[in-house]
Amino acid sequence: MTDDAARVFVPGHVTGLFSVHRDDDPARTGSRGVGLTLTDGVTVEVAPADESVVFVDDDPVAVESATRVLDAMDVSLEVRARTDVPLGAGFGVSGAIALGTAYAANAVVDAGCSANDLVRLAHVAEVEAGSGLGDVVAQARGGAPIRLEPGAPPHGRLDGIPDTSRVEYVTFGELSTVDVITGGTDRLSEAGEAGLEAVRERPTLDAFMTASRQFARDADLLTDDVASVVDEVASAGGTAAMAMLGRTVFALGTGLSDAGYDPGVCRIHDAGVTIR
Amino acid sequence: MTDDAARVFVPGHVTGLFSVHRDDDPARTGSRGVGLTLTDGVTVEVAPADESVVFVDDDPVAVESATRVLDAMDVSLEVRARTDVPLGAGFGVSGAIALGTAYAANAVVDAGCSANDLVRLAHVAEVEAGSGLGDVVAQARGGAPIRLEPGAPPHGRLDGIPDTSRVEYVTFGELSTVDVITGGTDRLSEAGEAGLEAVRERPTLDAFMTASRQFARDADLLTDDVASVVDEVASAGGTAAMAMLGRTVFALGTGLSDAGYDPGVCRIHDAGVTIR
């Protein structure tokens, strides 16, 4: 059935560790790694329009991943995204807008895509826009996704940590994803592969947080502000790590509150992308 | 972290069409097909016990799929399941209890399993108990799962219909799963493959309902009571189908209410198995 408008929620996604895998085929390009999807995320609504335009929290914003999704589906739509989490701070907002746009557009124009088709469209758009490598497939799954093999369906392969938790976060702003992703990634990927192995051996949230802290150090991505907050949470008896790639610290339970911060509070999201 | 007790929700699952695929390896045995996961389902709690015992709605019940999960994990636990939907009527209750037991046991005994490990354990237990072929993998995913390839991770492969709906159902009791599954399944599987192809070509809820009605007729599974309700819903302008394998009719939207029934009412479940 075709609807006049559609509303879709996509969870935020913080990656704790990852490795980069490039391929000539963008559907096979992606990252391996581990992260948490969050009940704080992005709500996307679309409506018919003569010319495509994307609004984020009422401001027109050039979100290339979303525009590429609309172009690939050959549709013109007004996209309105509302986000609980900041852009550019490691929460996968561009991936969420791309995936939400694909799902909402499919409902409005009756494009006849399956779930895997829509995830692939959004993943390819993200990769080609250079704005992300693993958020879309994680946001399609929900929970605490382990990205075993890179890429979109049917290439990528996922597992998950079978647990849930309250999650807190504080953010100090952007870290240039482009600089990190387009620079040399050998050292980063080596650290990411080691971290993934550690989580696969012991797929628990505690093991994930430990491996993520180690990854941030080994990959040399820890900024001073993030490093000191992670240490403060540890001193207060909690467990925190850095959201890749942003100047953002996330903690399980009440880790940041206990260390005296006034964090954003949410939970691990049970579901992936959800039609509202 | 290890907990003293754990509570897990597993959605109900109605299959509209399926084909049977057997293999020497139970992890590769399963069904292909299409169904809906439901917000009405089964809540499973486990607690340490000297000897394993399974209660369903406070009555001790021999649920072989769950006992096999506990045996495979080498643990003794008291399992308490509460179900919103009846046993043996095509809602995947035995699969739900098996999957919920696996997730809850992993939390309580700190078994160190990943999500895929737990889905595989529960799927194998279901197949070996002879109580189901495709419910567990569908219940692990949530939404409206399309089972592209049979079996548990890493063998099985899933897609989904990217839509949601209110779902109504009425049930007239049991249909022997064992009789159907162990009898000749060539005709059934041929009809199931044709239905799967139709849904893959047009992955919408409407196409799924149409293909499911066709499957029930072609596979010669339609009982008289179910057939007449499906017809009444159609006469009232709605769309209904038979839940495989049970004497249960499910409809989208208000299909059964509009036809004068007093149905169970729920929705398609956004998430798969969920830790509460």
Q: Is the pLDDT higher at A80 or at B181? A: A80
Say how far apart CA B56 and CA B50 lie, in whole Å: 19
Which of A116, A120, A155 to mutate against chain B (most B CBs within 10 Å)?
A116
pLDDT of residue A80: 98
Task: Indicate the range of A1-10, A186-195, A259-268, B7-16 predicted with least confidence.
Answer: A1-10
Query: Looking at chain B from residue 187 to 226, which residues have their Cβ under 8 Å from any Cβ of chain A?
Result: 200, 202-206
Say how far apart CA B100 and CA B142 lie, in whole Å: 14
Give A217-255 pLDDT, tens digit per residue: 999 888 899 999 999 999 999 999 999 989 999 999 999
pLDDT of residue A1: 44
Q: Are B122 and B99 in contact (CB under 8 A)?
A: yes
Query: Looking at this predicted complex, what is its ipTM?
Result: 0.95
* Residue B266 neighbours by CB distance under 10 Å: 20
Q: Average pLDDT for residues B241-264, to the nearest whole number?
A: 96
Secondary element (H or E) of residue A190: helix A186-201
User: How far B97 CA sits from the closest chain A CA (Å)?
Assistant: 16
* pLDDT exceeds 70 at position B241: yes
Say whether B206 and A143 touch across the interface (CB within 8 A).
Answer: no
All residues of chain B having their beta carbon less than 8 Å from the beta carbon of residue A101 are none
Mean pLDDT for chain B?
A: 94
pLDDT of residue A245: 86
User: How far A179 CA sits from the closest chain B CA (Å)?
Assistant: 33
All residues of chain A having their beta carbon less than 8 Å from the beta carbon of residue B270 are 270-271, 274
Query: Position A69: which residue type?
Result: V
Option in B114, B162, B206 nearest A203 (CB): B114
User: For residue A227, what are the contacts with CB-CB under 8 A and spacing of at least 6?
Assistant: none
B153 at interface of A, judged by CB pairs closer than 8 A: yes
Q: Are A110 and B162 in contact (CB under 8 A)?
A: no
**Rounded-to-10 torsion of CA A39, B46, A202, B1:** 70
A143 at interface of B, judged by CB pairs closer than 8 A: yes
Give A20-50 pLDDT, tens digit per residue: 999 999 999 999 999 999 999 999 999 999 9
pLDDT of residue B186: 85
Give percent above pLDDT 90 in chain A. Answer: 89
Option in B1, B112, B163 nearest A203 (CB): B112
**pTM of this structure:** 0.96
Q: Is the pLDDT higher at B186 or at B64? A: B64
- Rounded to 10 deg, the angle between the A224-235 and A205-218 helix axes is 140
User: How far B89 CA sits from the closest chain A CA (Å)?
Assistant: 26
pLDDT of residue A214: 95
User: For residue A82, what are the contacts with CB-CB under 8 A and spacing of at least 6?
Assistant: A42, A43, A56, A57
Whole-Å CA distances, B64 to B71, B130, B176: 10, 9, 16
Per the structure block, which two tokens stand in for B183?
A: 């009898």
Nearest CA in chain A to B199: A114
B3 at interface of A, judged by CB pairs closer than 8 A: no
Say how far apart CA B268 and CA B12 lie, in whole Å: 9
pLDDT of residue B180: 62
Task: Please name which of B13, B17, B14 lies closest in space to residue B198, comparing C-alpha atoms.
Answer: B17
Q: Average pLDDT for residues B39-61, to the nearest whole number?
A: 96
* pLDDT exceeds 60 at position B178: no
Per the structure block, which two tokens stand in for A88?
A: 């550019």
| Alpha-carbon torsion (A82, A87, A93, A95), positive or negative | positive
User: How far B275 CA sits from the closest chain A CA (Å)?
Assistant: 6
Q: Average pLDDT for residues A82-106, to the nearest whole number?
A: 96
Mean pLDDT for chain A?
A: 94
Query: Looking at chain B from residue 47 to 106, which residues have their Cβ under 8 Å from any Cβ of chain A?
Result: 103, 106
Q: Average pLDDT for residues A66-86, to the nearest whole number?
A: 97
Phi (first) and psi of residue A167, to 5 degrees: -130, 135
Give B97-134 pLDDT, tens digit per residue: 999 999 999 999 989 999 999 999 999 999 999 999 99
CA angle at residue A147 from A143 to A150, to 5 degrees? 140
Option in A160, A205, A271 nearest B115 (CB): A160
Nearest CA in chain A to B276: A164
Q: Average pLDDT for residues B29-58, to the nearest whole number?
A: 97
User: How far B153 CA sits from the closest chain A CA (Å)?
Assistant: 9
Whole-Å CA distances, B144 to B85, B182, B199: 18, 26, 11
Residue A253 CA, chain-centre distance (Å), reads: 20
pLDDT of residue B1: 44
pLDDT of residue B185: 78
In our burial notation (b when 16+ CB lie closer than 10 A, e otherwise), range A255-264 reads bbbbbebebb
pLDDT of residue A182: 58
Q: Average pLDDT for residues A260-271, to the nearest whole number?
A: 98
Give percent above pLDDT 70 in chain B. Answer: 96
